[in-house]
């Protein structure tokens, strides 16, 4: 039986393998930060509901580069940038079709070139600095993609950042993507994290945003796939300048352990961040959404609205913290988590927090947890709907509430279809 301490020793060997593959100073600083804490257990407050130290007691070997030709299905009309098994794959990507104003390179090339503005953005030392898994990602990052969108560019067609796993046997990947938008730029992005087959994997990925003045990003994140005991930790780091907007929605489904963590810093006046999401839990899925929204300047706005639908023995967790710094007057922040428990064995953990150090703000939070409304079920059943279909209708409406802020009708329809597929499988059991 391997001891938990040996997990860090295995990760240390991974670091020795990666330390000289671009950005050695950044990697060294990140490894030192990780080494101070090690793999987080429930004793770490921000990881209280997810014991990663136990789950990762046996780190899977680092993924090796695969150059196999694949035909990847498309679920929506987007321009795709693919990172497969830890390696950016230009041959599977739509680089030649990208519009003017969009520049793309692999993370590996960006690290080798070491351009100061890219390295500074990748480091993201001012947000998420205390998270050990984010530090581990920076220390071991294998590859990924760097996207730069020019000032004033309006990118109408969605750009998909697809991080995929395919190889067997078990392996681990550490990927990082950086998206930088110039002043006044606008873009729609899709972040897809999935397994192409039923493979056991340990994935640690990070998406870093740098939004200049008045830039806007609409982001849809879809986490799916995996098998029991697989691990996927997905981090989102966002730095917003004055007047910048990030509108984000995430759908989480699948098997294994999923943790999506968000670190957002509103570092300019009138910056706006919206984080919405829905979790569809069945089997033994463990889905943890943890976020920190840091209001550093006046007149910022943040909204967090999450829906959790948990069946069987699935476990959900929501930890949300909104910080209002001294001087960040006129901040407007609202955080809400609502959960539906469809089984006696399902579990939901909620922990919303506010840390306010300014006196002219409007901030609030709320969390609810319950079952489907019996009166609504009776009303639908009395009109001829079978019990399971009546439940599905209510569940679908509950999940779709979190999608209301999505402006792209095609993406909203795609996500609604995913909810419908999940519900149809529930009916057929």
- Domain limits, the chain: 5-371
Q: Is residue 213's pLDDT more than 70?
A: yes
pLDDT (tens digit, 9 = 90+) per residue, 350-404?
Answer: 999 999 999 999 999 999 999 998 889 888 888 888 888 888 899 999 998 888 8
Q: Give the pLDDT of residue 124.
A: 66
Q: Write down the pTM of the prediction.
A: 0.94
Quick one: CA torsion of 19, 41, 123, 150, rounded to 10 degrees? 120
DSSP per-residue string spanning 150-162 = -TT-EEEEEEEEE
Confidence grade of residue 1 (pLDDT, cut at 50, 70, 90)? very low
Tell me how far apart the alpha carbons of residues 269 and 292 are, in angstroms, rounded to a whole number. Answer: 18
Confidence grade of residue 276 (pLDDT, cut at 50, 70, 90)? very high
Tell me how far apart the alpha carbons of residues 208 and 125 are, in angstroms, rounded to a whole number. Answer: 12
The b-or-e profile of 109-132 (16+ CB within 10 A means b, else e) is ebbeeeeeebbebbbbeebbeebb
* Mean of per-residue pLDDT scores for the chain: 91
- On the question of a cis peptide bond just before residue 195, with omega within 30 degrees of 0, the verdict is no
Q: Is residue 222's pLDDT more than 50?
A: yes
CB 379 within 8 A of CB 347: no
Q: Which letter does DSSP use for residue 284 in this model?
A: T
């Amino acid at each position: 039986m391997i001891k938990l301490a040996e997990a860090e020793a295995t990760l240390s060997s991974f670091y020795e393998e990666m330390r000289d593959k671009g950005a050695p100073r950044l990697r060294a600083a990140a490894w030192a930060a990780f080494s101070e804490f090690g793999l987080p257990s429930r004793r770490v407050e921000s990881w209280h509901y997810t014991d990663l130290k136990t789950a990762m007691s046996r780190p899977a070997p680092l993924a090796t580069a695969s150059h196999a030709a694949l035909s990847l299905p498309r679920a929506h009309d987007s321009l795709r940038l693919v990172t497969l098994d830890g390696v950016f794959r230009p041959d599977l990507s739509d680089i030649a079709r990208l519009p003017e104003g969009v520049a793309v390179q692999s993370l590996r090339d960006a690290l080798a070139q070491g351009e100061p503005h890219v390295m500074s953005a990748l480091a993201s030392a001012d947000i998420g600095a205390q998270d050990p898994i984010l530090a581990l990602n920076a220390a071991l990052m294998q590859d990924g993609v760097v996207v730069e969108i020019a000032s004033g560019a309006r990118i109408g067609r969605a750009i998909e950042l697809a991080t995929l796993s395919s190889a067997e046997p078990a392996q681990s990947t550490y990927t990082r993507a950086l998206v930088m938008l110039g002043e006044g730029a606008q873009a729609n992005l899709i972040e897809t994290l999935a397994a192409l087959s039923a493979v056991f994997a340990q994935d640690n990925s990070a998406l870093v945003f740098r939004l200049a003045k008045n830039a806007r990003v609409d982001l849809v994140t879809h986490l799916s796939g995996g098998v029991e005991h697989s691990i996927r930790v997905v981090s989102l780091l966002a730095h917003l300048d004055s007047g910048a907007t990030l509108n984000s929605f995430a759908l989480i489904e699948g098997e294994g352990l999923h943790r999506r963590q968000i670190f957002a810093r509103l570092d300019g006046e009138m910056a706006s961040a919206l984080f919405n999401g829905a979790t569809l839990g069945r089997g033994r899925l463990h889905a943890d959404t943890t976020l920190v929204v840091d209001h550093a300047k006046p007149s910022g706005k943040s909204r967090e609205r999450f829906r959790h639908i948990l069946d069987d023995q699935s476990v959900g967790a929501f930890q949300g913290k909104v910080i209002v710094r001294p001087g960040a007057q006129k901040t407007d922040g609202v955080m809400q988590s609502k959960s539906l428990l469809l089984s006696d064995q399902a579990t939901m953990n909620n922990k919303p927090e506010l840390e306010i150090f300014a006196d002219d703000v409007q901030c609030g939070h709320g969390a609810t947890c319950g079952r489907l409304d019996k009166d609504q079920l009776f009303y639908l059943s009395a009109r001829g709907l079978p019990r399971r279909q009546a439940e599905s209708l209510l569940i679908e409406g509950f999940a779709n509430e979190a999608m209301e802020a999505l402006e792209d009708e095609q993406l909203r329809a795609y996500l609604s279809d995913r909810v419908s597929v999940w519900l149809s499988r529930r009916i057929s059991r």
